[in-house]
């Protein structure tokens, strides 16, 4: 029995190892053979799982690529944002520096304005104090002080007229006005001042004898009269016509000889002159000569006003020389030459009188009077 069991087992083993198709062929088929679907299910599920795994892997790769792309895009955006932020930060820093510079400039200007305003306020304060002092001093000034101030002003003005305008007449009038005010004050202490004024008025009146206006008008009249003078012209001679009334041939011969001699004499003239011969001037030269003579008289007028004696005398001497040289000898020309000689003898420059003595004397009186007032107070 023990020996049969191995064979049975062997057979069983054989049976189990045989192909199911062989078994099905050797054995009669049952009514409904069992379906093989349970054996095929594991294969389709594995395919589905592989496909699913492939899809998952593809989705994972796509997701990873998308995430990488998003990371790169985000990094680029962050870089651009960083660059923009840096550029804006630099611009902001530049604007801040410019703003700081502007603020510094404005502060300096404001400080300068404050300094100027302070200086102006100080100046106004000092000026106000000076005005207060002057007002207080004016409050103590009486009518006598005002009159003395007026006299001092008149004396100063008279000195200016003499030194700057060379006008002794108006200066003497100003001194007379000042003397009248001093006379009304009736103060014996002002006698030295009045004495100086009287001396200066006499000096101004002696220097005012020169009539500048009259001399100027005389030169103007000479220039007008010179236009009427006749310019020298060469003499012209006409031949003498001899009437032939002789009856005989001797008289006719003698008359012919005399006529020929007279005709010859009409072409030749002998004259004696102390100066060189003067050729006859052309019309345009005559106009230039008259214009030059007018300029000489005008030059003498300007020299008279400017008190330039040398220029004045040179202009008159030249005018007289031209009258002698280029104009005809007649009484009109001789009269003009005499008038020129008279004008040449007139004094051109005035000796400026010193009239500062009265002003100095008045200042000494005012100073002494002020000191006496301060002592009394």
At 231, give phi and psi (nearest 5°). -80, 145
| 297 and 217 fall within a common domain | yes
pTM above 0.85, yes or no: no
Domain membership flag for residue 30: no
Domain end: 140, 160, 191, which one?
A: 140
Question: How many domains are there within the chain?
Answer: 3
What would the mean pLDDT of 96-117 be, rounded to a whole number?
A: 87
Question: For residue 175, what pLDDT is reported?
Answer: 93
Please give the mean pLDDT across all residues of the chain: 76
At 136, give phi and psi (nearest 5°). -65, -40
Domain membership flag for residue 255: no
CA 353 to CA 155: how far, in whole Å? 14
What are 246-292's pLDDT values in tens digits? 456 677 777 777 877 776 665 555 544 454 545 455 566 777 888 88
Question: For residue 234, what pLDDT is reported?
Answer: 52
CA 153 to CA 350: how far, in whole Å? 25
H-type alpha helices, the chain = 4-17, 20-26, 37-139, 143-160, 168-185, 191-207, 212-226, 249-267, 283-306, 309-326, 331-344, 357-376
Domain membership flag for residue 14: no
CB atoms within 10 A of CB 310: 9
Q: What is the CATH number of the domain that holds 302?
A: 1.20.1440
Measure CA 175 to chain center: 44
Task: Specify the range with the lowest mean pLDDT, choosing from 210-214, 223-227, 292-296, 347-351.
Answer: 347-351
What proportion of the chain, given as a percentage, has pLDDT over 90?
10
| 219 and 297 fall within a common domain | yes
Assign residue 307 a region (left: φ > 0; alpha: ψ between -120 and 50; beta: otherwise).
Answer: left
What proportion of the chain, given as a percentage, has pLDDT over 70?
72
Most confident of 3-17, 203-217, 330-344: 330-344
CA 170 to CA 167: how far, in whole Å? 6
Report which of 312, 308, 296, 301 is spatially closest to residue 345, judged by C-alpha positions: 312
| 175 and 217 fall within a common domain | no
Question: For residue 3, what pLDDT is reported?
Answer: 41
| 180 and 82 fall within a common domain | no
Q: How many CA atoms lie within 13 A of 370 on its CB side?
A: 12
Q: Which domain, by its residues, includes 117?
A: 55-140
Q: Dihedral of CA 142/147/148/149: which sign?
A: positive
Domain membership flag for residue 265: no
| 64 and 110 fall within a common domain | yes
Report which of 372, 368, 370, 352 is spatially closest to residue 360, judged by C-alpha positions: 368
- Encoding tokens for residue 235? 């003499």
Residue located via tokens 């103590």: 140
SS3 36: coil
> Is the confidence at residue 176, as pLDDT, over 90?
yes
At 327, give phi and psi (nearest 5°). -115, 150
Domain end: 140, 156, 176, which one?
A: 140
| 300 and 220 fall within a common domain | yes
Domain membership flag for residue 251: no
| 339 and 216 fall within a common domain | yes
At 248, give phi and psi (nearest 5°). -100, 170
Domain membership flag for residue 349: no
**Does residue 257 or residue 314 have the better pLDDT?**
314
> Is the confidence at residue 224, as pLDDT, over 80?
yes
| 96 and 133 fall within a common domain | yes
| 191 and 314 fall within a common domain | no
| 70 and 167 fall within a common domain | no
> Is the confidence at residue 139, as pLDDT, over 80?
no
Helix 168-185, helix 143-160: angle, nearest 10: 160
Q: Exposed/middle/buried for 351, CB within 10 Å: 0-12, 13-18, 19+?
A: exposed
CB atoms within 10 A of CB 58: 10
What would the mean pLDDT of 365-376 be, rounded to a whole number?
A: 77
> Is the confidence at residue 85, as pLDDT, over 90?
no
- Encoding tokens for residue 51? 């496909």
How does residue 181 score in pLDDT terms, banded at 50, 70 and 90? very high
| 200 and 230 fall within a common domain | no
At 232, give phi and psi (nearest 5°). -60, 135
Question: For residue 11, what pLDDT is reported?
Answer: 39
Domain end: 119, 140, 161, which one?
A: 140
| 175 and 91 fall within a common domain | no
Domain membership flag for residue 167: yes
* Whether 182 contacts 151, CB under 8 Å: yes
Measure CA 46 to chain center: 108
Domain membership flag for residue 203: yes
Most confident of 85-94, 139-148, 271-280, 366-375: 85-94
């Amino acid at each position: 029995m023990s020996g049969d069991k191995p064979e049975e087992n062997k057979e069983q083993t054989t049976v189990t190892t045989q192909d199911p198709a062989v078994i099905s062929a050797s054995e009669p088929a049952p009514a409904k053979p069992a379906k093989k679907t349970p054996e095929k299910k594991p294969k389709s599920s594995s395919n589905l799982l592989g496909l699913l795994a492939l899809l998952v892997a593809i989705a994972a790769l796509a997701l990873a690529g998308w995430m990488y792309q998003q990371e790169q895009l985000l990094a680029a955006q962050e870089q651009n944002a960083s660059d923009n932020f840096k550029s804006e930060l630099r611009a902001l820093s530049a604007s801040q520096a410019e703003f700081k510079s502007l603020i510094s400039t404005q502060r300096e200007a404001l400080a300068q304005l404050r300094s100027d305003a302070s200086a102006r306020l100080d100046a106004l304060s000092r000026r106000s104090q000076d005005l207060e002092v002057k007002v207080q001093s004016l409050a103590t000034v009486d009518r006598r002080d005002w009159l003395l101030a007026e006299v001092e002003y008149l004396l100063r003005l008279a000195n200016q007229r003499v030194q700057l305008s060379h006008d002794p007449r108006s200066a003497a009038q100003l001194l007379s006005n000042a003397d009248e005010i001093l006379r009304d004050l009736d103060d014996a202490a002002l006698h030295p001042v009045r004495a100086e004024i009287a001396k200066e008025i006499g000096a101004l009146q002696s220097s005012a004898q020169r009539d500048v206006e009259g001399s100027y008008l005389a030169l103007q009249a000479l220039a007008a009269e010179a236009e009427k003078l006749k310019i020298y012209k060469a003499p012209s001679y006409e031949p003498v016509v001899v009437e032939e009334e002789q009856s005989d041939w001797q008289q006719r011969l003698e008359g012919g000889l005399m006529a020929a001699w007279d005709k010859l004499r009409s072409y030749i003239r002998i004259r004696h002159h102390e100066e060189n011969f003067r050729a006859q001037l052309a019309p345009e030269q005559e106009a230039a000569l008259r214009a030059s003579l007018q300029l000489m008289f005008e030059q003498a007028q300007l020299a008279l006003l400017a008190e330039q004696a040398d220029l004045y005398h040179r202009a008159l001497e030249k005018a007289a020389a031209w009258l002698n040289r280029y104009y005809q000898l007649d009484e009109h020309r001789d009269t003009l030459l005499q008038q020129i000689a008279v004008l040449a003898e007139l004094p051109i420059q005035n000796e400026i009188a010193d009239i500062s003595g009265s002003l100095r004397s008045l200042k000494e009186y005012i100073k002494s009077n002020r000191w006496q007032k301060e002592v009394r107070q």
